[in-house]
């Protein structure tokens, strides 16, 4: 059996271990310490100094805190891109609020501005202005920022920018992770950089960052005794894990370059066939190409290709199953145009790690050439 080729696997720089050793040598084995603040600083320098960063235990925790900080409460409604990973939507339910799902548009596969406006108007006419919009840069491709944020402004609804997959991407030259009223990042094992597990909340105001840290460390009021006037969470990033993050920040740009090279590799092979559609970058969108994804002609051909890869021990994955199709969300309202269903039927994510070897790329190319 050939060795497994993963869809997207961790890729260390070699510097991570030094930061971890430093944590051990100084006994900072806790959810605080120099690596946590150092990692936050590194991200802040990368995104721009007016972005305030709180390092957390996961991207999911960051979305949960973002909802709390935007005062989303029991019975509220939150609009959420349907085509996404479930972690974008689950925290809405943690708050006792109701997700309302919005379909995608064809160009970026993200939030469709027309369906978004239709949903906002309809929810308002039913008596409830949505409390927030969760917009996702899927697979690293920036959503239509001007259109989505234009509507958010028009109806005065804050945006949580789910940039879990898009660190390193830009829109009109501005970095993803800096567009939201609150933005979130993820450093899970398969993301463009990883801390094994981890995430961050990015805010425009330092007070929001400070509040996020307060809530993520059990909401301890300033007092000698343990005094609590808020419900707290244990969501802070550990100092060990943050050491991995500091090492990873040194290679983020390199990873973007390598993942974009993977996309070009697939483009060169697949351009020749007229049965495959690649996700192209619209003008003003720059994708980190976290995952290279394609559309085939039909569900049947998508499955045939996926199984052909599997025979060779190569991992691929259908595009995210839309949230409005998930059993757990079956009672949620949704505003649909058929696009995310179609993408799910025909779409496939191809191996996209920044650590793919030439040998592995050859194996992938052989499968593609044999198939088409």
Ligand X SMILES: *Cc1c(COP(=O)(O)O)cnc(C)c1O
C-beta of 270 vs 291, nearer to ligand X = 291
C-beta of 51 vs 186, nearer to ligand X = 186
Q: How far apart are CA 356 and CA 258, in angstroms?
A: 9
CA distance to 80, 124, 175, 325, per residue, from 155 (Å): 16, 10, 24, 28
Burial of 281 (0-12, 13-18, 19+ CB in 10 A): middle
**Closest approach of ligand X to the CB of residue 315, in Å:** 16
Round to the nearest angstrom and report the end-to-end CA distance of the chain: 23
**Closest approach of ligand X to the CB of residue 366, in Å:** 30
**Closest approach of ligand X to the CB of residue 198, in Å:** 7
C-beta of 183 vs 367, nearer to ligand X = 183
**Closest approach of ligand X to the CB of residue 371, in Å:** 27
C-beta of 33 vs 199, nearer to ligand X = 199
Q: How far apart are CA 293 and CA 139, in angstroms?
A: 8
Distance of CA 187 to the CA centre of its chain: 9
C-beta of 31 vs 363, nearer to ligand X = 31
**Closest approach of ligand X to the CB of residue 320, in Å:** 8
Query: Shortest Cβ contact with ligand X: which residue?
Result: 59
- Other CB atoms within 10 Å distance of the CB of residue 158: 18
**Residues near ligand X (CB under 6 A):** 58-60, 84-85, 87-88, 136, 162, 164-165, 186, 188, 199
C-beta of 185 vs 305, nearer to ligand X = 185
**Closest approach of ligand X to the CB of residue 57, in Å:** 8
Nearest to 81 by CA among 366, 324, 256: 324
The H helix count followed by the E strand count for the chain is 12, 15
Nearest to 291 by CA among 147, 141, 81: 141
Q: Which residue has the tokens 């006994």?
A: 27
């Amino acid at each position: 059996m050939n060795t497994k080729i993963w869809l997207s696997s961790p890729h260390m720089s070699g510097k991570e271990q030094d930061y971890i050793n430093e944590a051990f040598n100084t006994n900072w084995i806790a959810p605080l310490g120099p690596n946590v603040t150092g990692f936050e600083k590194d991200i802040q320098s990368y995104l721009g100094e007016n972005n305030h960063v709180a390092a957390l235990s996961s991207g999911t925790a960051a979305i949960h805190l973002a909802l709390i900080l935007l005062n989303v409460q029991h019975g509220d409604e939150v609009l959420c891109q349907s085509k996404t990973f479930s972690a974008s939507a689950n925290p809405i339910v943690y708050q006792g609020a109701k997700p309302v799902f919005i379909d995608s548009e064809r160009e970026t596969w993200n939030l469709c501005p027309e369906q978004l406006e239709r949903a906002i108007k309809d929810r308002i006419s039913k008596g409830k202005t949505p409390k927030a919009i969760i917009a996702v840069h899927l697979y690293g491709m920036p959503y239509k920022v001007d259109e989505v944020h234009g509507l958010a402004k028009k109806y005065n609804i804050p945006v949580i920018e789910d940039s879990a997959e898009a660190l390193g991407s830009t829109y009109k030259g501005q970095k993803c992770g800096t567009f939201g009223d609150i933005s979130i990042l993820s450093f899970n094992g398969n993301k463009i950089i990883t801390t094994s597990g981890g995430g961050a909340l990015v805010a425009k105001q330092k007070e929001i960052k400070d509040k996020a840290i307060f809530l993520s460390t059990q909401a301890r009021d300033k007092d000698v005794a343990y005094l609590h006037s808020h419900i707290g969470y244990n969501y802070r990033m550990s100092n060990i894990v943050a050491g991995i993050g500091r090492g990873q920040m040194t290679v983020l740009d390199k990873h973007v370059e390598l993942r974009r090279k993977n996309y070009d590799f697939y483009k060169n092979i697949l351009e020749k066939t007229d049965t495959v559609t690649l996700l192209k970058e619209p003008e003003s969108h720059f994708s980190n190409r976290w995952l290279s994804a394609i559309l085939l002609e039909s569900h049947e051909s998508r499955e045939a290709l996926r199984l052909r890869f599997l025979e060779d021990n190569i991992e691929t994955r259908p595009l995210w199953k839309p949230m409005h199709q998930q059993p757990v969300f079956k009672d949620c309202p949704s505003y649909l145009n058929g696009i995310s269903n179609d993408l799910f039927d025909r779409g496939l994510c191809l191996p996209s790690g920044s650590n793919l070897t030439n040998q592995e790329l050859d194996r992938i190319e052989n499968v593609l050439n044999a198939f088409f």
